[in-house]
Amino acid sequence: MTLSKISSLSKKNSLILLADDKTDFSLYDFSADEVKFIKKQIKDEVNPVQLNQLNRYVFVHYFKDDGKPCHIITEKYRTAANKLSCKLNSLKIKTIDVIDCGKNPTWTLAFAESLALSNYQFLKYFTKDAKKKVNSLSKIGINSKELSKESINEMQIVVDAVFNARRLVNEPLSYLDAEQFSKEFKEMGKDAGFTVKVLSKKQIEKENMGGLLAVNRGSMHDPTFSIMEYKPSKPINKKPYVLVGKGVVFDTGGVSLKPTSMSMDFMKSDMGGGATMSNALYAIAKAKLPVHVIALVPATDNRPGQDAYVPGDVINMRNGKTVEVLNTDAEGRMILADALSYASNYDPELVIDCATLTGSAARAIGQQGIVIMGNADKSEFDQLKYSGDKTYERVVEFPFWDEYSELIKSTIADMKNVGPAEAGSITAGKFLEEFTDYPYVHIDIAGSAFLHKADSYRGTGGTGVGVRLLFDYFKRKCD
Ligand code: BES
Ligand code: ZN
Ligand code: ZN
C-alpha cells in the first residue's frame, strides 16, 4: 500500500471528497447536474454519495463538525474510511485520491491512514485462488494544501510498521519460532538502520537468564534474546529509552496446560508485545526521529516438554532473586523479568515493556483499550494518554500501589509467579517491577493484540496495537 501527496487533481483516478457544509463543489470540475445530484443525495455522515463517471468513481463523504473533542472526530473519519474501503475493493478500484476540501489536515490524514490500515490482509498460506482474494486498492493519493510530503511519508512508515507487526503476530509457530523471530528483526534492522544483536542459548546461559531458560526447558527449540539499538547522531536524550517486548512465540501454558482449545488456539499471538516494540523501533528509526531507543525481546515457546519447568520449581533469576513457580502459564513475567534486569545495563531514562501478559487485563477492559501502570513520572502517563487518544490506541492507567506486592510473596522464595485471581494484571506488573531499578511503565495488550472478529481498521487477527501509540509518543518527545 502506498500513500503519497498529490498536488493536482487527476481526471482519471477515482476520488473521495471529504466535504462539509462549507464545501464549494464548483471547485471540483463537476457538471451542474452532478452538483445538483450531490446536494440532493448528501444526507448524512454514514452514506457517501457515489457518482459513477465514465472512467472512474467519485465519492462525496459528508462530515459535520459536531463540536466533539478532536480525537473523537478523528476516529469518526477513520471509521468512515473503513466502511468505504470495503466498497472500493468490491468495485475493484486500484488507486484512490482523497481530497480534503480545506479540512483539518489531521482528519484527512486519519482518513487516509484508516483506508490503508483497513486494506491489510494475511494471505500467505492460501494456495488456491489467493490472487482473487487480494484487495484491489494499492495506492492512496492525498490532496491537501496543509499536509506536508514529510507527514504523509511518516504515515507510510507507520502503516508499514503496523502491517509488519500484524504479519508477525499472524505467523504461526510452524514458521515463527524464536530463531525466526530474531531473523526478522535483523531484516528490519537492515531496512530501517538499527543494529541487531541476537544472544544464543549459550550466551543466554552466560547471562544467567534463569527465567527465560526455565520457560524454554519444555521446548525443543532454542530461545533467543534480541537486542536492537537505534542511536541517531544528535539524540534529544542522554540516557536511552528501552523498550521490552514479550516474545512467547507460542503459549500452551506449559505443564499448567491451558484448559481449552479456546484459550490456546490464538496463542501464536503471545509474541505481540515483541512485534509491537520491534516495529515501534522500526518506525522510529525509519522516520529518523532524533531519539536514542533500544528494544529487547526475549523469545521462546512455552510447552510441557519432557524437561519442562513444573509448579513448585524455584528459579534463580538474572538479577539474583528467586521465584517460586506456582503456575507455568504465568511464563511471560518469567522471561520479561530477565529482560528488565538486562535493561539496567543501559542506565535508561525510562523502560517501557509491552506484553500480552494477563487474561485479567483483557477481562477488565476488553479489546477496546490497553492497560498501563508503573512508577514513572506522571508526565509519562499523561503523554501516553494523550498519544493513546490521538491514535485511538487508548490507554487506561491501573493502580500500582505497594500493597499489591504483598500478594506475590512466597513462603519459600523471594516471590511467587502468581497472585490471587483479583487484580491479576496488577500483581503481574508488580512482579516485573521487582526486576527494575529505573523509571518503569508496563503495558498489557492482552485484550487488543489479537481479534477473533474484524473490528474496523484494526482488522481480524493481529492488530499491531501499540505501534501507532508508541511512535506518536516518541515523535512528540522530539517536537
Ligand atoms: N499469554 C497469556 C495471557 C493472555 C491471555 C494473553 C489471553 C492474551 C489473551 C499469559 O501467559 C497467561 O497465560 N497468563 C495467565 C496468568 C495466570 C496463570 C496468573 C492468565 O492470565 O490466565
Ligand atoms: Zn501463559
Ligand atoms: Zn503468555
Which residues make up the environment of ion ligand 3, defined by Cβ < 5 Å? 248, 251, 270, 332
Split at pLDDT 50, 70, 90, the class of 65 is confident
Please tell me what DSSP assigns to residue 270. G
Task: Quote the percentage of the chain above a pLDDT of 70.
Answer: 100
Distance 39 CA to ligand 2 centre (A): 56
pLDDT given for residue 278 in this prediction: 99
**CA–CA dist 88, 94 (Å, integer):** 8
**CA–CA dist 383, 479 (Å, integer):** 13
pLDDT given for residue 312 in this prediction: 98
pLDDT per residue as tens digits for the range 397-416: 999 999 999 999 999 999 99
pLDDT at 132 over 90: no
Query: Cell 526486576 maps to which residue?
Result: 435
Asked about 258 being catalytic, the answer comes back as yes
Distance 273 CA to ligand 2 centre (A): 14
Distance 330 CA to ligand 3 centre (A): 7
Split at pLDDT 50, 70, 90, the class of 467 is very high
Split at pLDDT 50, 70, 90, the class of 1 is very high
Distance 206 CA to ligand 1 centre (A): 29
pLDDT per residue as tens digits for the range 321-337: 999 999 999 999 999 99
pLDDT given for residue 100 in this prediction: 93
Q: Which of 266, 271, 329 gets mutated to test ligand 1 (max ligand atoms within 8 A of its CB)?
A: 329
Helix axes 149-170, 272-286, angle to 10 degrees: 160
108 ligand 1 Cβ < 6 A: no
Helix axes 178-192, 149-170, angle to 10 degrees: 170
pLDDT given for residue 175 in this prediction: 98
Distance 209 CA to ligand 1 centre (A): 21
Q: Which of 303, 325, 331, 358 gets mutated to test ligand 1 (max ligand atoms within 8 A of its CB)?
A: 358
pLDDT at 264 over 90: yes
Q: Which of 186, 197, 258, 385 is catalytic?
A: 258
Amino acid at 298: P
CB 355 within 8 A of CB 273: yes
Split at pLDDT 50, 70, 90, the class of 214 is very high
**Which residue lies with its CA nearest to atom 3 of ligand 1?**
358
Span of 8-12, 104-108, 299-303 with lowest mean pLDDT: 8-12
Q: Which ligand 1 atom sits nearest the alpha carbon of residue 269?
A: 8
Q: What is the DSSP secondary-structure string of 415-431?
A: EES---STTHHHHHHHH
**CA–CA dist 175, 162 (Å, integer):** 19
**CA–CA dist 402, 412 (Å, integer):** 21
331 ligand 1 Cβ < 6 A: yes
Q: Is the pTM of this model over 0.95?
A: yes
**Which residue lies with its CA nearest to atom 13 of ligand 1?**
329
200 or 262, which is more confident: 200
Which residues make up the environment of ion ligand 2, defined by Cβ < 5 Å? 251, 329, 331
Q: Which of 217, 246, 268, 333 is catalytic?
A: 333
SS3 state at 229? strand
